[in-house]
């Protein structure tokens, strides 16, 4: 039987949490001088954490960098861990997405606007110290005007050859906008002639939420498409490196589907190394998280979930606004999804196996961990995911008041594999049957996995007083004449500790029994095999 475990992180403290990425599970508030809204997170190879945030200063992009211990990085930005880049002093700038180049330079995407009829894509590239990169369009920023459309809310991705792709929407929903740039920020002229492509889907409007690039250099865009009166459907569009829809994908380069009743939104997309496409979103009034996986052809991957789809159980208190959803691919093929749920809202991270089943190794139960960033009267907004080299999930978000004003930046580190183990004892007794004299109970305490077991303890109780006790690891004592207790410490997967307990048969017993019970500080994957009993038959004398 699997025990029900729900990890709820405590309320915020107004200081960075030391050892953020070095601990098993940790959370910290980032002491910024102003209220913010988190927009994305990424991890550098040295463990430093980069977060894009909105601030009350509406004319700029703001990027924050933290050291691995969760404190602000003084080597970034103005010496306080904060880099600010003014886009246009008289217009509103909104940062969204982040991408990290192999050389450590950081790209932030977003838009700048005067009103809904005058909005443009913006890309900013920062050097490793947070200063604008002058080799990127001269001043570190590129503003792209689609002329006939108003560029809004673009995400950003990188190709293997160093090109940069941004994909967003027209502000009014009149088309998906995709732009491709050379590494220096100039338009890629081989991409639809001028470096810009406009994709019009069936229906009155569409919105793009995320972008990824596959191994062939194709751009994959995820979003929602209003094609029915009941609400939008999910869509994926694949654009070739020449800027045209890929006819070998789906129907004319586009896949449209729905996973629930209404209010569909494909909000995050990632491409696996084998070309299969993983997309996460919400459905049913934003109360359920959906996962879908598609083959490179655009067909649903029948080996994943239920014919290619996984839909979480509905939240009993649906969100008033679209739940933020982000997806991340783990190195072992598992998939992590973060989201925001309920009113007041709480963060949630769930992990599924490569086949789409709940990953019991994540939390010991249903593969879901709940994260409360703020107090019970606060709104958790965010849940942007990144994965460390050792498999931790880093979640960045914001906890705000009930007016949804900008709030406090929170960063959470959660192990992608919780300490989950199945520790079970078995007992051998010899001699058996026995006459008067010594009998040895040999207790094997084995860890069947899937994770290492720590804090393992054994209690052995016999119906006859015990004598000598020996153990292969740890320490044992006999506080009572019939009871032996052992602290065995940690047991790796597939290994065992062995404890020998000797008792003496006097010849008058009807039978001799020994019972072993084990516990551990790890999550117990199967509590039904924690106890074992052996009976020794006594020969009459």
What pLDDT tens digit does each residue of the chain (541 aa) get? 222 222 222 222 222 323 444 444 455 556 666 777 889 999 998 989 999 998 888 899 999 999 988 889 999 998 999 999 999 998 999 999 999 999 999 999 999 998 777 899 999 999 999 999 999 999 999 999 998 888 999 999 999 999 999 999 998 878 899 999 999 999 999 999 899 999 988 777 889 999 999 999 999 999 998 765 556 789 999 999 999 999 999 999 999 988 766 667 899 999 999 999 999 988 755 567 889 999 999 999 999 999 999 987 656 555 555 466 899 998 888 999 988 764 555 677 889 999 999 987 787 678 887 776 555 555 556 678 888 876 778 888 777 665 656 667 777 777 776 666 789 999 999 999 988 889 999 999 999 987 788 889 999 999 888 889 999 999 998 777 889 999 999 999 899 999 999 998 876 567 889 999 999 877 677 888 999 999 998 887 6
CA pair distance 88, 65, nearest whole angstrom: 23
Kindly compute the dihedral angle of the four CA atoms of residues 193, 199, 119, 405, in this order, to the nearest 10 degrees.
Answer: -140
Residue bearing tokens 């109970």? 441
Neighbours of 417 (CB within 10 A): 18
| Ranges of each domain in the chain | 1-71+315-417, 87-200, 421-536
What confidence score (pLDDT) does residue 1 get?
21
SS3 assignment, position 176: strand
Strand 523-524 and strand 420-421: the pairing is parallel
Q: What pLDDT is recorded for position 179?
A: 98
Cβ atoms of 516 and 414 within 8 Å: the answer is no
Distance set, CA 92 to CA 59, 279, 396 (Å): 5, 30, 24
Residues 6+ apart with CB under 8 A from 78: 84, 130
SS3 labels along 56-90: CCCCEEEEEEECCCCCECCCCCCCCCEEEEECCCC
Residue 323 neighbours by CB distance under 10 Å: 26
The partner residues of 280 in beta bridges, in order of sequence, read: 268, 291
Closest CA to 246 of 276, 212, 216: 216
Which residues, including other chains, have CB under 8 Å from residue 103's CB and lie 6 or more apart? none
Question: Regarding beta strands 277-283 and 288-294, do their DSSP bridges make them parallel or antiparallel, or are they unpaired?
Answer: antiparallel
CA-CA-CA-CA torsion sign (86, 92, 98, 102): negative
Show Cβ contacts of residue 485 under 8 Å, excluding neighbours closer than 6 positions.
457, 458, 459, 460, 476, 477, 478, 479
Q: 493, 496, 523: which is closest to 361 by C-alpha? A: 523
The set of residues, in sequence order, having a beta carbon less than 8 Å from that of 115 and lying 6+ positions away, is: none
CA distance 143 to 137: 10
Task: Let me know: does 474 contact 489? Beta carbons within 8 Å.
Answer: yes
For domain 421-536, give the fold.
Immunoglobulin-like (2.60.40)
Total number of residues shown for the chain: 541
């Amino acid at each position: 039987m699997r025990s029900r475990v729900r990890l709820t992180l405590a309320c915020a403290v107004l200081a960075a949490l030391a050892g953020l990425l070095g601990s098993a599970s940790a959370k910290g508030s980032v002491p910024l001088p102003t209220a913010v809204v988190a927009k994305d997170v990424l991890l550098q190879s040295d463990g430093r954490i980069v977060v894009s945030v909105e601030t009350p200063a509406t004319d700029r992009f703001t990027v924050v960098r933290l050291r691995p211990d969760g404190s602000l990085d003084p080597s970034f930005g103005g010496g306080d861990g904060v880099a600010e880049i003014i886009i246009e002093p008289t217009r509103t700038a909104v940062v969204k997405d982040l991408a990290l180049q192999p050389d450590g330079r950081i790209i932030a995407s977003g838009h700048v606007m005067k009103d809904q009829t005058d909005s443009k894509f913006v890309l900013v590239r920062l050097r490793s110290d947070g200063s604008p990169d002058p080799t990127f369009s001269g001043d570190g920023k590129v503003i792209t005007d689609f002329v006939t459309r108003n560029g809004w809310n673009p995400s950003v991705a990188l190709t293997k050859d160093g090109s940069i792709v941004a994909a967003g929407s027209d502000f009014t929903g009149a088309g998906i906008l995709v732009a491709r740039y050379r590494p220096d920020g100039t338009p890629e002229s081989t991409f639809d002639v001028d470096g810009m492509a406009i994709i019009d889907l069936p229906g009155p409007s569409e919105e793009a939420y995320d972008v990824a690039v596959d191994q062939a250099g194709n751009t994959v865009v995820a979003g929602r498409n209003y094609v029915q009166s009941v609400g939008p459907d999910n869509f994926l569009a694949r654009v070739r490196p020449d800027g045209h829809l890929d006819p070998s994908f789906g129907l004319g380069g586009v896949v449209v589907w729905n996973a629930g009743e209404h209010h569909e939104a494909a909000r995050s997309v990632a491409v696996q190394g084998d070309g299969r496409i993983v997309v996460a979103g919400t459905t049913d009034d934003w109360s359920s998280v959906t996962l879908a996986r598609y083959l490179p052809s655009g067909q649903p991957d029948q080996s994943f979930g239920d014919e290619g789809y996984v839909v979480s159980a509905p939240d009993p208190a649906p969100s008033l606004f679209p739940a933020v959803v982000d997806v991340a691919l783990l190195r072992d093929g598992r998939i992590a999804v973060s989201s925001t749920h309920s009113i007041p809202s709480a963060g949630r991270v769930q992990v599924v196996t490569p086949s789409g089943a709940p990953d019991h190794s994540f939390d010991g139960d249903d593969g879901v961990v709940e994260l409360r960033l703020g107090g019970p009267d606060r709104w958790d907004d965010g849940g942007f995911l990144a994965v460390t080299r050792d498999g931790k999930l880093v979640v960045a978000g914001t906890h705000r008041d009930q007016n949804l004003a900008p709030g406090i930046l929170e960063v959470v580190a959660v192990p992608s594999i919780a300490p989950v183990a199945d520790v079970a004892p078995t007992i051998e007794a010899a001699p058996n049957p026995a006459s008067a004299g010594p009998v040895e109970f040999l207790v094997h305490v084995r860890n069947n996995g899937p994770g290492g077991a720590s804090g393992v303890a054994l209690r052995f109780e016999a119906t006859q007083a015990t004598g000598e006790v020996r153990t292969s690891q740890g320490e044992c004592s006999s506080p009572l004449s019939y009871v032996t207790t052992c602290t065995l410490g940690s047991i790796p997967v597939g290994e065992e500790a062995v404890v020998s307990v000797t008792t003496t048969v006097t010849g008058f017993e009807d039978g001799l029994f020994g019972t072993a019970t084990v516990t551990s500080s790890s999550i117990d994957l199967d509590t039904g095999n924690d106890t074992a009993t052996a009976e020794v038959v006594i020969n009459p004398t």
